[in-house]
Amino acid sequence: MDDFLAARSQMALSLGFHIIFACIGMVMPFFMAVSHYYYLKTKKPVYKNITKAWSKGVAIFFATGAVSGTALSFELGLLWPEFMKHAGPIFGMPFSLEGTAFFIEAIALGFFLYGWDKFNPWFHWFTGVVVGVSGIISGILVVAANAWMNNPTGFDYINGQYINIDPIKAMFNDAWLSQALHMSIAAFCATGFAVAGVHAYMLLKGKNKEFHRKSFRIAAAFGCIAAILQPLSGDFSAKDVAKRQPAKLAAMEAHFYTEKRAPLIIGGIPNEEKQTVDYALKIPGLLSFITHGDINAEVTGLDQIPKDEHPPVAITHYAFQIMVGLGMIMLLISILYFYSLWKKHNLMDKKWLLKLFAIATPMGYIAVEAGWTVTEVGRQPWIIYGIMRTADAVTPMPGIVYSFYLFTAIYLSLSFIVGFMLYRQIKMVDTLYDISEDLSNKQS
């Protein structure tokens, strides 16, 4: 493995790791706020138990996300110094605002986690909401920086110089809205499905039904609404990418030749040498329609893009297929769920539906990782789209491969420990929270 590949792998690993923890930190506070609200309104101890059980999970994920995020702010410079030297002053604005948002999040989390029975209950509840809101703001701001890499604006690039820098204009780049929307909804969808899935599994095992049923309902509502909204935002993103980054769109679709009435290619194995996609399902005209709203519109293919500016087609295409495929499955499950709710079927007796949710537990996060791969790999070979190549940004220090091994070891063991702890948390729910209503009423 050469140093360049090692640097890219380390960055991908760090971001791929961080993104999961960031999503949970953004979304879980809202789930907690809902159950906490029910507790304050109804005084039913089960809601307090749910809030407390979830908050323990959040504390674990938040701490891991916070430190992996700290690491990232250094890794940007450690791995890509040439990029940061030029990009820092241009796209730094969202980062400096994100500092504030994240700071507020950390402060609010301190109040929330350690404030039980110490403050006015509604102030305590409010601090939980602040954790969620500032988390979402942080996420949106970080995505603004990433969107700038896809749509670099707010400066003039003349003779290799970055001049007339306008950081505000750079922050409000055209890619921000579609990317931030897609990412935020994805966070809700993925976390909703993951949490609902775990509780569905516990319901199937028939343990602690009251606790898991109520938890499941809250998480599933968030996850399913997000899953239904996501295709709309995906459509918005696709049109946006088609307009600004035709190479990325062509790689996503494995669309080698420019053509009118372009087909949507589903599945298949792209062959970059022969420029064909084998074993794919092709729906004529649909790609033209999705990207330009007209089945006869011309869609730019990779043939219009210089060979040395092609992103890796196969990876981008597969990742895109995985993301869309999983999104569709989650959409179907969501429709089924709401349909059953509407028909007032007793859901918790429908084992098949709970099984579907249990199976879908990791789907949202796999889709998030796949979508992240699409946007990052699809931008290659550029680190700043059309301006700076990733290969020109890498650190001159040799031996990055060892740093990559080190971070791989750390993140693997952290994932293992977090998984292990989560397993123990869930296992302990019975002992910690399985108390009958009367008894717990007396206790609380």
Partner 1 sequence: MIYVVIAFLWAAIWLYLLLGGADFGAGILELFTSDKNKSKTRKTVYRVIGPVWEANHMWLIIAIVILFVGFPKIYTLMSVHMHIPLVIMLVGIIARGTAFTFRHYDAVVDDMQVVYNKIFQYSSFITPFFLGIIAASTVSGAIDTEAKDFLSAYVYSWLNWFSIAVGLFTVSICGFLAAIFIIGETDTEEDKRRFIQKAKFMNIAAVITGGLVFIIAYLEGIPLAQWIFGNPIGTIAISAATLSLIILWKTIDKKNAVQLRILAGFQVSMILLSLTYEHFPNIILLKNGEYLSLMEYQGEEKTIAALAWALLLGSLFILPALYYLIYSFQKKGKVH
- Smallest gap, in angstroms, from Cβ of residue 62 to partner 1? 8
Q: Determine, following the binding rule CB under 8 A, whether residue 412 of this chain makes contact with partner 1.
A: no
DSSP string, 138-193: HHHHHHHHHHHHHS--SSEEETTEEES--HHHHHT-HHHHHHHHHHHHHHHHHHHH
Q: How far is CA 190 from CA 22, 61, 243, 342, in A?
A: 12, 15, 28, 23
The residues in 7-66 that bind partner 1, with binding defined as CB under 8 A, are 56, 59-60, 62-64, 66
- The Cα 242–Cα 251 span in angstroms is 11
* Minimum gap (Å) between residue 285 Cβ and partner 1: 46
C-alpha R_g of the chain = 23
Q: Nearer Cβ to partner 1, position 93 or 370?
A: 93
Only one of the segments 104-112, 172-180, 236-244, 383-391 lies at the binding site for partner 1 (rule: CB under 8 A); that segment is: 104-112
How many residues belong to the chain?
444
- In the complex, least distance from residue 90 CB atom to partner 1, rounded to whole angstroms: 7
Measured from the CB of residue 19, what is the shortest distance to partner 1 in angstroms?
16
42, 73, 304, 441: which one contacts partner 1 (CB under 8 A)? 73
Q: Does 107 bind partner 1 (CB under 8 A)?
A: yes
Shortest Å distance, C-beta 426 to partner 1 = 9
Of the residues 13, 113, 129, 315, which one makes contact with partner 1 according to CB under 8 A: 113
Q: Which is nearer to partner 1, 361 or 395 (CB)?
A: 395
80-116 b/e (C-beta count within 10 Å ≥ 16 → b): bebbbebbeebbbbbbebbeebbebbeebbebbbebe
100 Cβ contact partners less than 8 Å away, ≥ 6 residues apart: none
Site for partner 1 in 117-146 (CB under 8 A): 118-119
Of the candidates 48, 60, 51, 46, the one whose C-alpha atom is nearest the C-alpha of residue 29 is: 51
CB of residue 77 to partner 1, shortest distance in Å: 3
Is residue 160 at the binding interface for partner 1, with CB under 8 A as the rule? Answer: no
Question: HSE on the CB side for 226, CA within 13 Å?
Answer: 23
Does residue 206 touch partner 1 according to CB under 8 A?
no
Tell me how many residues contact partner 1 (CB under 8 A).
67
Q: Is 401 in the site for partner 1 (CB under 8 A)?
A: no
Place of tokens 């949490």: 195
Q: How is 354-382 classified by DSSP, letter by letter? A: HHHHHHTTTHHHHHHHHHHHHHHHTTTTE
Q: Does 161 bind partner 1 (CB under 8 A)?
A: no
Q: Is 111 in the site for partner 1 (CB under 8 A)?
A: yes
* From 187-195, 236-244, 324-332, 396-404, span contacting partner 1 (CB under 8 A): 396-404
Distance of closest approach, residue 106 Cβ to partner 1, in angstroms: 4
Q: In whole angstroms, what is the distance from residue 104 CA to residue 110 CA?
A: 10
Q: Considering the complex, what minimum distance in angstroms separates the CB of residue 393 from partner 1?
A: 11
b/e map of 400-415 (b: 16 or more CB within 10 Å)? Answer: bbebbeebeeebeeee
- Report whether the peptide linkage leading into residue 381 is cis, meaning its omega lies within 30 degrees of zero: yes
Binding part of the chain for partner 1, among 44-52, 166-174, 180-188, 353-361 by CB under 8 A, reads 166-174
Tokens of 335: 């429709």
- Region binding partner 1 by CB under 8 A among candidate stretches 267-275, 284-292, 310-318, 394-402: 394-402
Task: Pick between residue 339 and residue 423 the one whose CB is nearest to partner 1.
Answer: 423
Q: Which of 68, 138, 173, 380 binds partner 1 (CB under 8 A)?
A: 68
Residues 75-94 that bind partner 1 (CB under 8 A): 75-78, 81-82, 84-90, 92-93
CB of 390 to partner 1, least distance (A): 16
For position 166 contacting partner 1 by CB under 8 A, the verdict is: yes
Which two tokens mark 170? 């750079």
SS3 285: coil
- Residue 424 interacts with partner 1 (CB under 8 A)? yes
The secondary structure element, H or E, covering residue 388 is strand 388-389
DSSP string covering 230-263: HHHHHHHHHHHHHHH-HHHHHHHHT--S-EESPP
- Alpha carbon distance 383, 81 (integer Å): 12
DSSP codes of every residue in 28-47 = HHHHHHHHHHHHHHH--HHH
Contact call for residue 71 and partner 1 (CB under 8 A) = yes
Q: Is 425 in the site for partner 1 (CB under 8 A)?
A: yes
Residue keyed to tokens 């250094």 = 74
Site residues, partner 1 (CB under 8 A): 56, 59-60, 62-64, 66-71, 73-78, 81-82, 84-90, 92-93, 95-97, 99-100, 102-104, 106-111, 113-114, 118-119, 165-168, 395-399, 403, 406, 410, 414, 417, 421, 424-425, 427-428, 432
